[in-house]
Amino acid sequence: MGMTMTQKILAAHAGLSQVTAGQLIEADLDLVLGNDITSPVAINEMAKLENQTVFDKDKIALVMDHFIPNKDIKSAENCKCCREFACKHEITNYFDVGEMGIEHALLPEKGLVVAGDAVIGADSHTCTYGALGAFSTGVGSTDMAAAMVTGKAWFKVPSAIRFELVGKPGKWVSGKDVILHIIGMIGVDGALYRSMEFTGEGIASLSMDDRFTICNMAIEAGGKNGIFPVDDVAMEYIKEHSTREVTVYEADEDAEYEETYTIDLSQLKPTVSFPHLPENTKTIDEAGEVKIDQAVIGSCTNGRISDMRVAAEILKGRKVAKNVRCIIIPATQAIYLQAMREGLLEIFVEAGAVVSTPTCGPCLGGYMGILAAGERCVSTTNRNFVGRMGHVKSEIYLASPAVAAASAVLGRLACPCELN
């Protein structure tokens, strides 16, 4: 029996010639990731172990991004814990104020993940790196602690679902719309502990930023991971950002998939996920009159330079609606600088938006955009659970940067095509 991309990567890292769905394996890791919320828990657990030495100081990444710059005493203490640990163990890839970014945008940008890698992170959206042809998945902080010491992790080999992408997306349709459409179609547990593997000629029309966004939200369908084949677009990105050796894995022709879905990208429309689950989707023309109080453009899902450019294209020469707060967050320092050089930040400020240093901030209800009772936010983030961004009686509508920017201008959920 053939293997999927994910199964081939796991087999190689477990030193096995073959693995099958449901098999328990122990695999070597190429990178172990933590942030300022999850790392202190892992560090404290590691302190209980007999061996308290990291397996490889170059294969651990600690990214201060959720509450950085520190929003309160507790977040300051968490970052201090990480900082002291990184110093003690001489962690090469430690990113703090001034050089930090949102972790899942920063690591690919720094070339720390390449095709064929096996990566775990104490953050559920670690599945982002499947866009590069890597196996990457989120774990708990105790698993992170063990991995920092051993360089290994246990996995149950996932079965797989294949998504055959065909056609080309139309104007204002992005990777965010693709994944929201898929989650709306299969539900938040439709891919539970399964690999979401994307194939088809339609992939060629998706940018790397689109692919990062799609894999980022695989977890919102319950997926163990999301993964794309390594084509010329992916290889060009990897070569631009990394000098590491790459191993490309391809699914066997007789690989087994529990389900196969065909998605015609040309038929998709800008899509919005209504409260309070990502599966509660509607196309923008089905949305109706939904007034908003806030728009957030950023996060590990949609804070990349292409997202900034789309938002600027829509906001240029326009104003954010009265009584709407528009918060824009470039995902890394490099993206922030690029947006500055291209004049995008000036466009945002002149439109009446505010621009933040890179942070996860509002996405998890941390800071930089907390909602009060009864307020509604259209956001390019990845979750819209009850109380996710503030008060339990607030509402979050997940959308693309294009829809979020147009909504900020019109003060309601809107398609950019309405701005003429």
What confidence tens digit (pLDDT) does each residue in 265-313 have? 999 999 999 999 999 999 999 988 999 999 999 999 999 999 999 999 9
- Write down the pLDDT at residue 153: 97
CA 336 – CA 329 distance, rounded (Å)? 8
What's residue 59's pLDDT?
A: 97
Instruction: Assess whether pLDDT exceeds 80 at residue 420.
Output: no
User: What is the average per-residue pLDDT within 28-52?
Assistant: 93
Statement to judge: residues 18 and 59 lie in one domain: yes
pLDDT band at 46 (very low <50, low <70, confident <90, very high): very high
Shared domain for 178 and 308, answered yes or no, is no
Q: What is the pLDDT of residues 10-21, one digit of tens each?
A: 999 999 999 999
Which tokens is 21 given? 């769905």
213-232 mean pLDDT: 97
Verify that 246 and 313 share a domain, yes or no: no
Per-residue confidence (pLDDT) for residue 402, from 0 to 100: 97
If asked whether residues 21 and 163 sit together in one domain, one would say yes
Among residues 193, 243, 183, 250, which one has the least CA distance to residue 223?
A: 193
The secondary structure of 91-119 as a DSSP string is -SEEE-TTT-B-HHHHHHHTT---TT-EE
Q: Quick one: what percent of the chain has pLDDT higher than 90?
A: 95
Cα–Cα distance list, 411 to 41, 343, 377, 403 (Å): 41, 24, 10, 11
Does one domain contain both 257 and 274? Answer: no
Can you tell me the distance from the alpha carbon of 388 to that of 370, in angstroms, rounded to the nearest whole number?
9
Domain extent, residue 53, equals: 5-263
Among 263, 292, 310, which residue terminates a domain?
263
281 and 258, same domain (yes or no)? no
Mean per-residue pLDDT, 97-104: 93
Tell me: the pLDDT tens digits for 88-99? 999 999 999 998
Boundary-marking domain end, from 232, 263, 294: 263
Indicate whether 60 and 161 sit together in one domain: yes
Per-residue pLDDT at 323: 93
What is the number of domains present in the chain?
A: 2
